[in-house]
Structure 1
Amino acid sequence: MRKFLPWIIVIGVILILFVWIKGINNNAVKLNENIGESWGNVETAYQRRSDLIPNLVNTVKGVANFEKSTLVEVTQARANATKVTVDPSNITPEQFNQFQQAQSGVSSALGRLLVTVEKYPELKANQSFLKLQDELASTENQILTARTRFNEAVKPYNNHVKTFPNNLFAGMFGFKEKAYFVADKGASAAPKVNF
């Protein structure tokens, strides 16, 4: 029996290491899948907003004849935002920043559209416009919630792949740190509303 004891110990250590490394990998895979799901929810919220924009623009166009440049900006911002795609399994900070900038352009253009609309009392009272405006506000809240949940999914993943000794094996299996959503530059300043 003593003759086999070193082999039993070596086999036991190998099995323990295998189970431990398998656990690191499997946990990283599960956390990465959570991030993928959360990212899908973010994109769904952005798609909802993108789908609402043509309806809003057509409603505004139908009721008021005002600056075409504002409508063109909204349409172009929407088109630019739909061009940028991000692979949730391999989100790089550069891709992430490009995606955020495109979505910020949509938000900015929509803001200018809604400010311009304030000049037209008959449009502000139009039920279709009010419903679309409510839908856009609801969509923006959904985007905020989806972004928050995405960040909540990224945190445990990043903790898992960055802590020692997991970081030694996570890199070997191709798991890298993921980027968080961050506020746009200047977003910390309170917006000024003028009537």
Structure 2
Amino acid sequence: MPTTLIILGVAVVLVVLWVMSTQRRLVVLDENINNAMSQIGVQLSSRFDALTALLDLTKGYAKHESETLIETIKSRRSVITAKSTPNEVLRQEGIIAEALGRIAMVAEQYPELKANETYAETMDAVNTYENLVRNSRLIYNDSVTKLNREIRMFPVLLIAGMLGFRQRDYLQEQEGKTVMPSMK
């Protein structure tokens, strides 16, 4: 009887240690996803700032269009945080894409704006932040893949849900999304 109790006790300790180890591994994977989403938020915020500077430059050429766009962006902009969803990121990127399209139309109507050095530098900054967002998306999706794979594999799938972990959604690339051409 004592040998059975010892074996049972060792088995319970091993299971508890395995659950603790698995929970820690899942927490690390989850935190990597949250960090990647936060990085996307930082890059989108910087891109919005560059976009606002670009809109300020267009004021002299299309005052009403610029002011309308600035107000639209301010009213529809939200902050992307670690707990944001991929759909919220897509919505924010859609706002940026819409504004960039309208800025491109203004720039086509006013060649002197398009030739402005500050405009070109600001457009390059917008594109740089877009590339940073793209890299952050790759990191996010890679982190999601690792967590989702871990959660779906036996024996982790037996306890992942009980520990509060769920599969996460990937960030999809927007249809028809392109980086604005460099002005240099």
TM-score by length of 2: 0.86
C-alpha RMSD of the superposition: 2.4
Q: Which 5+ residue runs of structure 1 have no aligned equivalent?
A: none
**What does residue 169 of structure 1 align with?**
159
1:76 aligns to 2:72 (yes or no): yes
Give 1:136's match in structure 2, choosing from 126, 131, 138.
Answer: 126
**What is the match of residue 18 of structure 1?**
16
Question: How far has the Cα of 1:148 moved from its partner?
Answer: 1.1
* Matching residue within 96, 99, 102 for 1:112: 102
CA contact (8 A) 2:38 2:81 kept: no
Q: Tell me if structure 1 keeps the 8 A contact 2:86–2:169.
A: yes
* Contact 1:74-1:113 at 8 Å conserved across structures: no
Of the structure 1 ranges 132-141 and 160-169, higher mean CA displacement relative to structure 2 is found in: 160-169
Would you say the 8 A contact 2:59–2:66 is kept in 1?
no
Which amino acid in structure 2 is aligned with residue 5 of structure 1?
T
Q: Which structure 2 residue ranges, 5 or more long, are not aligned?
A: none
Q: 1:74: Cα distance to partner?
A: 5.2
CA shift digits 1:10-37 (9 cap, x unpaired): 1111111111111111100010111111
Match of 2:58 in 1: 60
User: How many residues get paired?
Assistant: 180
Asked whether 1:101 is paired with 2:99, we answer no
Structure 2 residue identity aligned to 1:53: L
Separation in 1 of the partners of 2:124 and 2:24?
Answer: 43
Paired residues for 1:16-55 under 5 Å: 16-55=14-53
Structure 1 residue runs of 4 or more that deviate by more than 2 Å after TM superposition: 66-71, 84-88
Farther off after superposition, 151-160 or 117-126:
117-126
Does structure 1 conserve the Cα–Cα contact (< 8 Å) formed by 2:52 and 2:70? no
Q: 1:28 touches 1:157 (CA, 8 Å); kept in 2?
A: yes
Quick one: distance in 1 between partners of 2:159 and 2:152?
10
